[in-house]
Amino acid sequence: MRVRDRLWPGLGARGVWLELHVAVSCAAVVAFEVAALNPGPLGSLLLVLVAVLLGFLLLLLRRRAPLVPFGVGAALAAIDISTGLLVTSYAVARYVGSWRIRAAAGVLGGLAALQPWDHDTFNEWLAGGATAALLVVLPGALGVWQRTRLQLLAALRDRAERAEAERELLARDAVLTERTRIAREMHDAVGHRVSLMALQAGAIEMAAGDPARVEQLARQVQDAGRQALDELRQMVGVLRAEDIDDQAPLGPQPGLDDLPALLARAREAGLSVRLTGQTGVPVDAAVGRAAYRVVQEALTNAGKHAPGADVQVCVAHAEGQLVVEVLNGPASRIGAPAPGGGYGLVGLGERVRTLGGRLTAEPRLDGGFRVEAVLPT
């Protein structure tokens, strides 16, 4: 196995048997040609040894160094033993990549087959040219065609493999993008509901002496919990293939017109929110949805990190732009530390940049926080 790999790299057992068959057949035909010439006992022995040498070189070097057996074949063709040149011309054209070397070998082989030193009449020159074409040009053309064909197949195979790899990368990127989008939607929708529930639970603790207020807040917590579970169930149902055919509730995504209802729910949870500007101006659905998510995330952060602070939401329409600004003051009371990974603002930035806008989120000098989104309309 190691000897075969070293002498004929990349060839299987069938390839090695083919090389052996070509070498033995060529040497046998050359030996018959030697016998037909009848050069005498000593000449016959010498030429038979040369034929054996040609077969040995073909066996070992036809693919790796085809110029070596080609030289022997050209020398034999010069003395009317032409089979070796027929086989080695194909090998040079097939396995040598340089066109200059091919052309030089073709000229040398053509001269050996033509034998210009032995022609006197036009018919002899014509016969010599036909012999050169048969022994050199035709097998050389076949060798070049076979080499070009295999190179084309290899190029097509590589292109197909690269295209398949690119498709896999695109599919993987699409999956990651969709996961990111779903995670962002779950954070925006479910996270906001849960934050409102936490605020309402804190308000229940503060209103412990007012049974009616406690009952109202408990009912609001229960409603927010149900809505959060419904939204979570809808999103998980979209991810499960077996649930695609189910009649899942697919309502429209919230937009700019839904801001008053969002702020009303925030007020019920205990936030002090004020809205200025116009929310009924028609804008693109994607822009309105992004504006809604910006306000939703800003309210969620204000409720978690600045409990008791006043929040102001301003919606303004400039030249070809929708400006949404959410300002909250410093916290008026000390609340429990709010967990968070900071992914909400990162997701908002990605959403706004996708639409060609910009997002600014920064602390204010008075201890509050400012979130501003500028979206093209």
Sign for the CA dihedral angle at 231, 233, 237, 243 comes to negative
Beta-ladder partners of 274 = 312
Q: Tell me, what's the pLDDT at 18? A: 74
pTM of the model: 0.48
User: Per-residue pLDDT tens for 220-278?
Assistant: 777 777 777 776 666 666 555 444 444 444 556 788 888 998 898 888 777 889 999 87
Q: Tell me, what's the pLDDT at 359? A: 92
Contact 114, 132 (CB under 8 A): yes
Domain boundaries, the chain: 2-162, 255-377
User: How far is it, in rounded angstroms, from Cα 49 to Cα 31?
Assistant: 9
SS3 sequence, the chain? Answer: CHHHHHHCCCCCHHHHHHHHHHHHHHHHHHHHHHHHHCCCHHHHHHHHHHHHHHHHHHHHHCCCCCHHHHHHHHHHHCCCCCHHHHHHHHHHHHHCCCHHHHHHHHHHHHHHHHCHHHCCCHHHHHHHHHHHHHHHHHHHHHHHHHHHHHHHHHHHHHHHHHHHHHHHHHHHHHHHHHHHHHHHHHHHHHHHHHHHHHHHHHHHHHCCCCHHHHHHHHHHHHHHHHHHHHHHHHHHHHHCHHHCCCCCCCCCCCCHHHHHHHHHHHHHCCCEEEEEECCCCCCCHHHHHHHHHHHHHHHHHHHHHCCCCEEEEEEEEECCEEEEEEEECCCCCCCCCCCCCCHHHHHHHHHHHHCCCEEEEEECCCCCEEEEEEEEC
Q: Tell me, what's the pLDDT at 240? A: 57
Spans in the chain with pLDDT lower than 70:
1-12, 35-40, 42-43, 59, 182-193, 195-196, 198-203, 205-209, 217, 231-252, 333-343
Q: Tell me, what's the pLDDT at 7? A: 63
**What's the CATH code, domain 255-377?**
3.30.565.10
Q: Tell me, what's the pLDDT at 367? A: 87
Q: Tell me, what's the pLDDT at 2? A: 62
Q: Tell me, what's the pLDDT at 97? A: 82
Do the strands 272-277 and 310-318 form a parallel or antiparallel pair, or are they unpaired? Answer: parallel
